[in-house]
Structure 1
Amino acid sequence: MTLRTKNVGWSRGGHLVLDGVSLDPAAGETIGLLGPNGSGKSSLLRLLSGIAEPDTGRVLLDDTDIRTLRRRQIARRVAMVDQHSDTEVDITAGDIVRLGRIPHRGVFSGDETADAVAVERALEHTGMTSKAHRPWHTLSGGERQRAQIARALAQEPDELLLDEPTNHLDIRHQLDILSLVAELPLTSYIALHDLNLAAMFCDRVVVLEAGRIVAAGRPADVITEALVEQVYRVRAGVTIDPVTGHPTVTYRPVRSTPVSTY
């Protein structure tokens, strides 16, 4: 059992954002959430995290409706990294990571040794150990992203939710972070725009369009030329890497207006 949804629907401002979405991953799977802007990826992560509640259907943590759980109970199991995470407070990268230990602290105190070990491990995993004492405002966008991911790892969750975690990261750190997530013994949901990264690191992908699931399964079965054209409105070539078995997408340029010739 793990974090899953059963036929969830959600509307905002009278607009249907998610419509009948059901997800049932195996424990420990890395699930890629794909789809164009406005397809419902971030909204689905908000429901999975318990930040928002569905209008219809249920979000289940094991067999328990997440709406019946307290925030601390959820936070001990589920960690989320939002794509817009930021702070105006003058604190260090290490302080951000230590925030991940709050759900594990009691009313009067926590286990300081366990906290220190979890924070140190999270900083090491994300390559942020040497930057732990750096003030937040001096970090680059990629360093801030890695600090927020370290904060989520310090939480020691069973379920990890990542909304566009490769934003602001260079290619090396994109690969490092997604390799780390894929190897963790957690169930992970990752909203991604890059289909090639999803193919490389996700056990399964779920493709959303206008709030509905239009395809789901192994990347090699789901990421096809027909699907890319249908969902993303672009033409692409899709080949299967003979070594890894992963699909590779190459996009074909599209001209919206004819080019004059002289």
Structure 2
Amino acid sequence: MPLHAKDIGWSRGGHLVLDGVTVEPAPGETIGLLGPNGSGKSSLLGVLAGVHRPDTGRVLLDNTDIRTLRRRQIARRVAVVEQHADTEIDINVADIVRLGRIPHSGTFGGDQAADAAAIDEALTHTGMLRHRHRRWHTLSGGERQRVQIARALAQQPDELLLDEPTNHLDISHQLDILALVSGLPITSYIALHDLNLAAVFCDRVVVLDHGSIVAAGTPIEVITEQLVEDVYSVRARVTVEDGIPHVDWSRHVVGPSV
């Protein structure tokens, strides 16, 4: 069974960040996590990755509570692409991607042939194979994001967690990255701000607001004019074409009732 959350509650600094969150994807599904800033998307990814320990509820991987698993066991199955990844180290693309093989190394190192094959495959998937010798500091924002995804793919995970992978990218790179992720034969959780991108690339979406799930289902079931107004306080027109909803944003912000 894929990585899933069961009735997760988590607080930070005395503030309830996640409240009764349950997400149960089917194998191979791409799940979009939506909601305003501060709604709990990144925090939920942190709990799913085992970085944050929930106060209540459980995160299960193959029906095993991840709190009983070692970090290496989790890393062999779950890969994470963070929102802001950077380094001051002078390192090339291939060596960054090679970091994804660390969970598979033993006391005397890993299988070098398997490592090389996994690295080449990850670079090929992300279109970065011909850039393998380039230095990190020479890469554009979109290229850096592709390298981070390649590093995650080199782990050969069953589950992929991505926190705002399209931030600061131009539209062509946004589309390329989400097409890449949604086409992978693994279960993915993607925190996104853009409802229209989520509608195109996600099998299901989960909308968080103030740490609680307020809607979940397929994009056409969830992304409605009423939801946009209720959650984002903005009036928008939602149309549907070929079964995919599209949000046409209005500049009219819904004010507090008087």
TM-score by length of 2: 0.96
Residue in 2 that maps onto 1:209:
209
Is 1:183 the equivalent of 2:190?
no
2:28/2:188 contact within 8 Å kept: yes
Gapped runs of 5+ residues in structure 2?
Answer: none
Query: How far apart in 2 are the matches of 1:210 and 1:255?
Result: 19
Q: Which structure 1 residue ranges, 5 or more long, are not aligned?
A: 258-262
Deviation at 1:255, TM superposition (A): 6.9
Partners of 2:168 and 2:143 lie apart in 1 by 8
Alignment of 1:1-262 (within 5 A): 1-241=1-241, 244-254=242-252
Q: Displaced runs of 4+ in structure 1, greater than 6 A?
A: none
Aligned counterparts of 1:94 and 1:165: Cα–Cα separation in 2: 20
Moved more, 133-142 or 63-72: 133-142
User: CA–CA distance in 2 between the matches of 1:145 and 1:167?
Assistant: 9
Q: Judging changes above 3 Å, is the alpha-carbon distance between structure 1 residues 148 and 159 closer, same or farther for their aligned structure 2 residues?
A: same
Q: Deviations over 1:186-243 (max 9, x none)?
A: 11000000001100010000000000000000000100000001101111110001xx
Structure-1 separation of matches of 2:102 and 2:228: 42
8 Å Cα contact 1:142-1:167 kept in structure 2: no
| Residue identity in the other structure for 2:85 | S
Specify the SS of the correspondent of 2:95.
helix
Question: Can you list the C-alpha shifts for 1:164-200, whole angstroms capped at 9, x where unaligned?
Answer: 1111322222112111111111110000000011000
Judge which range, 10-19 or 129-138, deviates more: 129-138
Distance, in Å, in 2 between the alignment partners of 1:36 and 1:3 is: 24
Further displaced range: 18-27 or 175-184: 175-184
Q: 1:260 corresponds to which residue?
A: none
Q: Which amino acid aligns with 2:20?
A: G
Q: Which deviations, in whole Å up to 9, do the C-alpha atoms of 1:90-140 show, x marking residues without a partner?
A: 111211111001111111021111111111111111111122111111111
Q: Which amino acid aligns with 2:95?
A: D
The one-letter code of the counterpart of 1:105 is S
Q: Percent identity?
A: 73
Q: For residues 176 and 142 of structure 1, what CA distance do their matches in structure 2 show?
A: 10
Rounded Cα–Cα distance in structure 2 between residues aligned with 1:178 and 1:47: 23
* Partners of 1:255 and 1:197 in 2: CA distance: 22
Aligned residues: 255
Return the offset for 1:84: 1.2
The RMSD of aligned alpha carbons is 1.3
- CA distance in 2 between counterparts of 1:113 and 1:236 reads 53
**Change beyond 3 A, Cα 1:15–1:48:** same
> Hey, what's the Cα distance between the residues in 2 that align with 1:202 and 1:71?
28
User: Residues 5-24 of structure 1, C-alpha deviation per residue, up to 9 Å, x if partnerless?
Assistant: 11010000111100000111
CA distance, structure 1, for counterparts of residue 169 and residue 133 of structure 2: 20
8 A contact 2:229–2:254 mirrored in 1: no
Per the TM alignment, residue 254 of structure 1 is displaced from its structure 2 partner at its CA by: 2.6
> 2:200·2:244 contact (CA, 8 Å) conserved in 1?
yes
Q: Could you say if the C-alpha distance between residues 256 and 202 of structure 1 is closer, same or farther in structure 2, counting changes exceeding 3 Å?
A: closer
Partner amino acid, structure 2, of 1:191: A
Q: Distance in 2 between matches of 1:102 and 1:168?
A: 29
